[in-house]
C-alpha cells in the first residue's frame, strides 16, 4: 500500500505510520503462541552423588561395597537394585553369636587403641591404672564400672556402644572376605565416598598394580597379593612397603581363613612335578615365619618376623625338613605322590623354603 501511494503521487505523498505495538503479531486465523519462560532446572546434589556412588559400586561389585552403598543411600532410586545385588552375593550369616571377648578383639585391634580407651576411662573419673595399652584386671574392673554407670551390661569388655559412650572411635570389621574371591586389580578412587575404614583403604593402596584378594579376621586385615615368581626377600620388602608385615598365623581358625583367601584363585600358586621324587607340588603364599641362624635343624629356632612367639604350626607331613641348607622361610605348600591334578588340591599346610625359591604370591597382614 505504501508503495502504491508513492507511485501514484510521484513521491509527493508518503503515508505516516503510527503504531504502539511492542510485540510480534501475525495475520491469520490462528493466534501466535507467546513464548513462556522456562523454570530453571533444579539440580539435586544428593541424587547426583547417589548416581556416582552407584557407578563406583557397580565397578567394585562386592558384598561389602553394596552394603556401604545401601547404608549411605537407602532412600535413593538405586537402593532397590543395590539390595538385589547384595542379596545375590551375600553369604548366609553365621548363627553363632560371638562372645563379648571375641567382639572386643575385633573392635580393639592395637595397643594404641587400648591405651586410648584407658585414657578415656580416666577422663570419666574411673581409674584403670597406668595407660599402658594392656588390659589387665584393673582395666577390666574400670570398664565394668563405667558400663554400669551409663546403664550398659557390665561385661568388662569394650563393644561399640561402650566405645561410643567413652568418645572413642572404633572401626568395626566383620570377619570375612571383603574383595572378590578372584584376584583383581582395584582402583582406590572407586572406593572414595563409600569405604570408611582407613585400613581397608590402606589395603587397596598396597601393590596397586597387582591383583589381590583381601578380608578381615579378628580385627586384622589380610591381603593375598599376586607376584609372579617372588622370592622371600622381595615378598618381605613389599609387605613392609604396604605398611604391614608378612602374615602371622596363630590359630587353626586364622590359618583356615588365610587359606580361604588364597585358595580362591589358582593364580596365587606355583605348581610343578618333581621327576626325581615322582611328586606333584603346589607352592602357595609366603608368610612371616622364619628360622634364626644357628637354630637346631630342622624344627627349632622358628619365629614370627613381627616378634610374636610361635604358638601354632601347620607343617606339611615331614616338614620342615631342611631339604637344602638355608631353607629358613615358610610358605603355604602341599604335595602328592604320582601324577595328580594339583589344581584341585586345597592348600592348608606349610613348608620350609630357601632364599632362591619362588612362588606367585605373599600374604600381608595389617592391623
* Grid cell in block for residue 236: 618381605
Q: What is the mean pLDDT of residues 319-346?
A: 92
Nearest of 294, 309, 304, 296 to residue 350 by alpha carbon: 304
Q: For residues 212 and 26, what is the distance between their CA atoms, to the nearest angstrom?
A: 72
SS3 content of the chain, % helix, strand, coil (to 5): 35, 20, 50
**54 has pLDDT over 60:** yes
**The predicted structure's pLDDT at residue 297:** 64
pLDDT confidence band for 142 (50 / 70 / 90): very high
pTM beyond 0.85, yes or no: no
Q: What percent of the chain has pLDDT over 90?
A: 65
Q: For residues 71 and 76, what is the distance between their CA atoms, to the nearest angstrom?
A: 11
| Residues linked to residue 274 through DSSP beta bridges, in sequence order | 279
* Grid cell in block for residue 252: 587353626
Secondary structure element (H or E) that encloses residue 199, with its range? helix 198-205
Quick count: other Cβ atoms within 10 Å of Cβ 34? Answer: 7
**The predicted structure's pLDDT at residue 94:** 45
Higher pLDDT, 7 or 49: 49
**322 has pLDDT over 90:** no
What b/e sequence results for 271-307 when a residue is b if at least 16 CB atoms lie within 10 Å of its CB, and e otherwise? beeeeeeeebbbbbbbbbbbbeeeeeebeeebebbee
Higher pLDDT, 174 or 31: 174
Q: What is the mean pLDDT of residues 241-264?
A: 96
Nearest of 264, 346, 332 to residue 62 by alpha carbon: 264
**The predicted structure's pLDDT at residue 30:** 54
| Residues linked to residue 335 through DSSP beta bridges, in sequence order | 281
pLDDT confidence band for 89 (50 / 70 / 90): confident
**264 has pLDDT over 60:** yes
**The predicted structure's pLDDT at residue 164:** 85
Higher pLDDT, 299 or 214: 214
Q: Is the peptide bond before 323 cis (omega within 30 degrees of 0)?
A: no
Higher pLDDT, 322 or 7: 322
Distances (CA, A) of 362 to 93, 146, 312: 29, 43, 19
Q: Residues 159-206: pLDDT tens digits?
A: 888 988 999 877 677 889 999 999 999 999 999 999 988 999 999 999
**The predicted structure's pLDDT at residue 175:** 85
Task: Give the 3-state DSSP-derived string for 99-129, with helices as H, strands as E and coil as C.
Answer: CHHHHHHHHCCCHHHHHHHHHHHHHCCCCCC
Q: For residues 223 and 212, what is the distance between their CA atoms, to the nearest angstrom?
A: 7
Higher pLDDT, 230 or 17: 230
The number of C-alpha atoms within 13 Å of 23 and in the hemisphere containing its C-beta is 7
**33 has pLDDT over 80:** no
**25 has pLDDT over 50:** no
Cβ contact 350:289 at 8 Å? yes
**230 has pLDDT over 90:** yes
**The predicted structure's pLDDT at residue 14:** 55
**242 has pLDDT over 60:** yes
Higher pLDDT, 40 or 315: 315
Cβ contact 146:162 at 8 Å? yes
**237 has pLDDT over 60:** yes
**The predicted structure's pLDDT at residue 139:** 94
The H helix count followed by the E strand count for the chain is 11, 10
Q: For residues 242 and 74, what is the distance between their CA atoms, to the nearest angstrom?
A: 34
Nearest of 264, 225, 256 to residue 242 by alpha carbon: 225
Distances (CA, A) of 245 to 242, 260, 283, 342, 364: 8, 19, 20, 28, 5
201-205: Cβ within 8 A, 24+ apart: 202/242, 202/243, 202/366, 203/242, 203/364, 203/366, 205/242
Q: For residues 339 and 1, what is the distance between their CA atoms, to the nearest angstrom?
A: 108
**277 has pLDDT over 80:** yes
* Grid cell in block for residue 271: 605348581
Q: Which of 176-180, 224-228, 336-340 has the lowest mean pLDDT?
A: 336-340
**355 has pLDDT over 70:** yes
Determine the longest span between alpha carbons in the chain, in angstroms: 132
Average pLDDT, the chain: 87
**126 has pLDDT over 50:** yes
Q: What is the mean pLDDT of residues 104-133?
A: 87
Amino acid at each position: 500500500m505504501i508503495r502504491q501511494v508513492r507511485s501514484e503521487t510521484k513521491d509527493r505523498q508518503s503515508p505516516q505510520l503510527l503504531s504502539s505495538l511492542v510485540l510480534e503479531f501475525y495475520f491469520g486465523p490462528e493466534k501466535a503462541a507467546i513464548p513462556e519462560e522456562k523454570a530453571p532446572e533444579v539440580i539435586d546434589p544428593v541424587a547426583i552423588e547417589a548416581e556416582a556412588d552407584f557407578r563406583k559400586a557397580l565397578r567394585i561389585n562386592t558384598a561389602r561395597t553394596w552394603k556401604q552403598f545401601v547404608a549411605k543411600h537407602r532412600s535413593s532410586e538405586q537402593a532397590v537394585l543395590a539390595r538385589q545385588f547384595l542379596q545375590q552375593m551375600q553369604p548366609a550369616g553365621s548363627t553363632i553369636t560371638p562372645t563379648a571377648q571375641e567382639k572386643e578383639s575385633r573392635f580393639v585391634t592395637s595397643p594404641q587403641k587400648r591405651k586410648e580407651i584407658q585414657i578415656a576411662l580416666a577422663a570419666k573419673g574411673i581409674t584403670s591404672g597406668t595407660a599402658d595399652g594392656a588390659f589387665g584386671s584393673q582395666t577390666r574392673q574400670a570398664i565394668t564400672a563405667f558400663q554400669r554407670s551409663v546403664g550398659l551390661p557390665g561385661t568388662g569388655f569394650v563393644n561399640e556402644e561402650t566405645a561410643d559412650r567413652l568418645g572413642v572411635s572404633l572401626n568395626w570389621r566383620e570377619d570375612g572376605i571383603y574383595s572378590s574371591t578372584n584376584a583383581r586389580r582395584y582402583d582406590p578412587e572407586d572406593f572414595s565416598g563409600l569405604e570408611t575404614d582407613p585400613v581397608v583403604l590402606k589395603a587397596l593402596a598396597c601393590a596397586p598394580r597387582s591383583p589381590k584378594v583381601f578380608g578381615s579376621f579378628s580385627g586384622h586385615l589380610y591381603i593375598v597379593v599376586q607376584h609372579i615368581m617372588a622370592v622371600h626377600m622381595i615378598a618381605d620388602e613389599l609387605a613392609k612397603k604396604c605398611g604391614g608385615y608378612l602374615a602371622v598365623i596363630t590359630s587353626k581358625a586364622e590359618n583356615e581363613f588365610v587359606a580361604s583367601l588364597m585358595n580362591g584363585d589358582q593364580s596365587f600358586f606355583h605348581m610343578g612335578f618333581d621327576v626325581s621324587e615322582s611328586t606333584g607340588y603346589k607352592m602357595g603364599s609366603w608368610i612371616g615365619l622364619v628360622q634364626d641362624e644357628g637354630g637346631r635343624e630342622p624344627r627349632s629356632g622358628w619365629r614370627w618376623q613381627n616378634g610374636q612367639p610361635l604358638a601354632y604350626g601347620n607343617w606339611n607331613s615331614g616338614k620342615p625338613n631342611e631339604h637344602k641348607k638355608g631353607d629358613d622361610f615358610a610358605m603355604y605348600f602341599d604335595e602328592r605322590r604320582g601324577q595328580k591334578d594339583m589344581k584341585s588340591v586345597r592348600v592348608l599346610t606349610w613348608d620350609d623354603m630357601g632364599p632362591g625359591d619362588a612362588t606367585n604370591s605373599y600374604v600381608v597382614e595389617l592391623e
